[in-house]
Amino acid sequence: MSIEIYSIPMKDSREDIKIQANPWFKNGIEESDIILGKELGLIEDSKDIDPFEEMIEIEEEYLEDLNDFLDELERLDPDYLTYAECIDKKEFYENIGVRIVKKFDNWALGSIEGEKCVYIPHTLLDDITTGAIYNMTLIYTEGQTNLWRAIFVFPKISPVQVGCVSNLFDMIYGDVSEYIGMKTFHIPKIDIGKTIGKDGWVIDKIVKDYLYNNRDIGDLLMDDDDDIKDASNIPQFNFIDKGEYTQVDMWYNTFIDKLNECEFISIIPEIELLQKMYV
C-alpha cells in the first residue's frame, strides 16, 4: 500500500477578504441612528423629559397640599399644643432699629423695617435726626395710633478712623485752589442697601436735615443752585462690606479741615452725617 501526496497551490486568503469600514466612522451618526438610540433607551428623548419633570412638580405640589391639610387637622385636635409669638405689654423691647421718618413740634414718627408705627416723645427729640436710624427701647402701646412708644435712645458707636489721604488732587475755581482728601473708617457691620436707600435717598435725607438745622454751614457747603447729589463740597461716602465690619471711604473737600481750625464753626462729617446712617 502506498501513500500519494498531492500539492495543491493555495491562494492568499487575504486577497478574498474585503474589509468594510464602520459606517459610523464613514458616514457619521445619522438621524436614523438617533431614532434607533431613543427607541432602545440609549438616548434620552427630550419629549419624554418635559412631561416627567411636570409630573414631578405636580406630585410635589400635591404632597405639600397634603401636608398642609394634615397639619390643619392636627391643629383642630382639642389637645393640640402650639407655640405662638405674642407681645408682652409689660416687657421692654431693647435694641430695636428705628428710622426717624419725621419730626414735629413736640414728637417724632419712627418706622421699623419701613412700617411707620413708633411714637417718639419730645423728651427724645434732641437725640434724633430725621432720616437717621437708632437703636431704641420700645414699649407696646396697645391699640393707640402708633403701636410702639420709644422710651430710650442708645448712644451710637463712633466710626473708627484707620486711614487718611490729603490733597489727592486740586479743583480750580477762579483764583482759588481747593483740594480733595479721603478718610477711611471702620463701622459696625451694616446692611448697605438699607443704610443707603434706593438711589441714596436715606443719605440725602440725612444731609438735608443737617443743612436745614445748620444754615450757616449749609451756605458754605452748597451754592444756591446746587443739588445735594452734585454739590462738590458735600462729603461722599463709599461703603464696602468686609464681613465682620463695614469699611467706609469718605471723600471730602479739605477746606472743611481749614474751617474746623476756626473757633466759631465746626463740621465733623463722620459724626454729623456718617454716624447717623447706622445704628
Same domain, 51 and 109: no
Q: Grid coordinates standing for 167? A: 490733597
pTM of the model: 0.61
pLDDT at 175: 46
Same domain, 237 and 166: yes
Same domain, 211 and 259: yes
Q: Is residue 219 part of a domain?
A: yes
Given 153, 168, 200, the domain boundary residue is 153
Task: Give me the phi and psi of 119, to 5 degrees please.
Answer: -95, 125
Same domain, 138 and 48: no
Between vectors from CA 208 to CA 215 and to CA 268, what angle results, nearest 5°?
A: 70
SS3 of 215, please?
A: helix
Buried residues in 17-38 as b, exposed as e (16+ CB within 10 A): eeeeeeeeeeeeeeeeeeeeee
Q: What is the mean pLDDT of the chain?
A: 81
Same domain, 130 and 222: no
Which alpha helices (DSSP H) does 168-214 contain, by range?
A: 192-196, 201-213
Same domain, 177 and 265: yes
Q: Is residue 2 part of a domain?
A: no
CA dist list (Å): 230 to 41, 204, 235: 66, 11, 11
Residue 104: how many CB atoms within 10 A of its CB? Answer: 10
- Which tens digits make up the pLDDT trace of 155-176? 999 999 999 887 666 554 444 4
Residue 178: how many CB atoms within 10 A of its CB? Answer: 15
Contact (Cβ atoms closer than 8 angstroms) between residue 228 and residue 234: yes
For residue 127, give the CATH number of its domain.
2.40.50.140
Same domain, 180 and 269: yes
- Which tens digits make up the pLDDT trace of 7-33? 555 555 555 555 566 666 666 677 777
Q: Is residue 271 part of a domain?
A: yes
Which helix (H) or strand (E) is 96 found in, with range?
strand 93-103
Does the pLDDT at position 105 exceed 60?
yes
Same domain, 120 and 166: no
Q: Is residue 264 part of a domain?
A: yes
Question: DSSP strand E in 126-276: where?
Answer: 133-140, 148-153, 160-165, 170-173, 176-188, 236-241, 245-253
pLDDT at 238: 93
Going by pLDDT thresholds of 50, 70 and 90, the confidence category of residue 119 is: very high
Provide the domain limits for residue 53.
Answer: 27-72
Q: Is residue 122 part of a domain?
A: yes
Same domain, 148 and 183: no
Same domain, 180 and 213: yes
Given 119, 153, 187, the domain boundary residue is 153
Residue 251: how many CB atoms within 10 A of its CB? Answer: 14
Q: Grid coordinates standing for 216? A: 450757616
Higher-confidence residue of 250 and 257: namely: 250
Q: Is residue 7 part of a domain?
A: no
Given 153, 169, 191, the domain boundary residue is 153
Same domain, 143 and 200: no
How many domains does one find in the chain? Answer: 3
Same domain, 146 and 244: no
Between vectors from CA 147 to CA 143 and to CA 152, what angle results, nearest 5°?
A: 135
Higher-confidence residue of 140 and 18: namely: 140
Q: Is residue 196 part of a domain?
A: yes
